[in-house]
Amino acid sequence: MASPRANVREASNYPWEKPEAAPKGYRRLTQIEFDVANMRVTGAVDKGIGEILLSIQAPDSSEYPVHLDHYRFAAIMKISILDDYHDTLRTLKAFSKLAGHEVKIWNDHVQEVDALAERLKDAEALVLIRERTKIRAPLLERLPKLKLISQRSVYPHIDVDACTRLGIVLSSNQHFGMPSYATAELTWGLVISAMREIPRQMASLKAGNWQTGVGSTMRGKTLGIFGYGRIGAVVAGYGKAFGMKVLVWAREASRLRAREDGYAAAPSKEAFFEECDVISLHMRLVDATRGIVTARDLARMKPTALIVNTSRAPLIEPGALVAALKAGRPGKAAVDVYEEEPLRDTGHPLLNMDNASCTPHLGYVTREDHEIAFAEIFEQINAYVAGKAINVVNPEALEKARNLRLS
């Protein structure tokens, strides 16, 4: 379903160009272009072109802004950005990295191949926001101008083989050195919210009532971390700070790392689910982890226990969580991810259960995380333009694209 706001916003190249010759398909970006782009990013367009002109400094000025590279060549690429629900990206500082390119930003969500093919028919570079839209062969084969897909993190939603066959480069920074603190923080917010039953207490107060029921504290209880990676390690630290015993279940190498960090590892998966009062899932979705949490696992949990999933819905066996909550083991769930997103079905079982706290995939959705992620995503585009593609998932596509150009 389309968003009530305009489906597409455009940020076109600005007409002021320096007269110097540039390589074919390239031109210089003027300072005016950069200033206009920056003003669009900050919403200050109404200040007028006069203020821009007054701000121009000579290239040899010591105060010349570093990000306004007076002599940089830049290729003009037609870039499409999908699923920017709140039209946030143009308000980021990182958006200035796309100055000089032609950019279309789509604010609604569309998955139908025909509609996407029409929208993206002129796109040379495609920016994806995580896994919001599936990019498969039937769509890719209808995008003859597409050269690059730029995104961040894992890519189960992209047909990499089809990209390679068609000479489309996939650049995706895996950001191995940095956890998503935003996701870790949301995870802990959901733990507190569910344990203290905050949504139910708020609803009671808004209905004209006072307290309803009694929540639980975390101190002294056991926090289970299923998947001890970057985010899992951060959440484990939060649990420790709240006085919880931390128990880890993961691959052997990850359990060893958890022990080195001072946390206990469960003797078995069965013991892990039986002992923990709170279990938080922190794994990437790959074939080996799909359905890794089974109905049998959930049935081992305490009736007072809470399971939290801010990773990916398919980590849990299909239908198992709803059935387990109805059966009372575990007693509660806090969920930020779903099988189909965006979730607009108000009849979805989880949205209608008193023992489920649900949020609309907010884990990484903060301005700070967006600044980091899209600075990298946009830089991948500029690197490709400069002939020095980075974070390439399918390097074979570079050679394929070269052969297609020469043929």
Active-site amino acid positions: 312, 341, 361
> Which DSSP state fits 377?
H
Angle (CA) 261 267 270, round 5°? 125
The CA distance from 260 to 269, in Å, is: 20
Determine contact, residues 264/247, Cβ cutoff 8 Å. yes
Determine contact, residues 341/361, Cβ cutoff 8 Å. yes
Determine contact, residues 22/67, Cβ cutoff 8 Å. no
Task: Give bridge partners of residue 218 from the DSSP assignment.
Answer: none
Determine contact, residues 280/218, Cβ cutoff 8 Å. no
Determine contact, residues 153/175, Cβ cutoff 8 Å. yes
The CA distance from 152 to 31, in Å, is: 29
The CA distance from 226 to 297, in Å, is: 12
The CA distance from 237 to 191, in Å, is: 14
The CA distance from 179 to 184, in Å, is: 8
Please list, in sequence order, all residues whose beta carbon lies within 8 angstroms of the beta carbon of residue 145, skipping any fewer than 6 positions away: 78, 121, 122, 123, 124
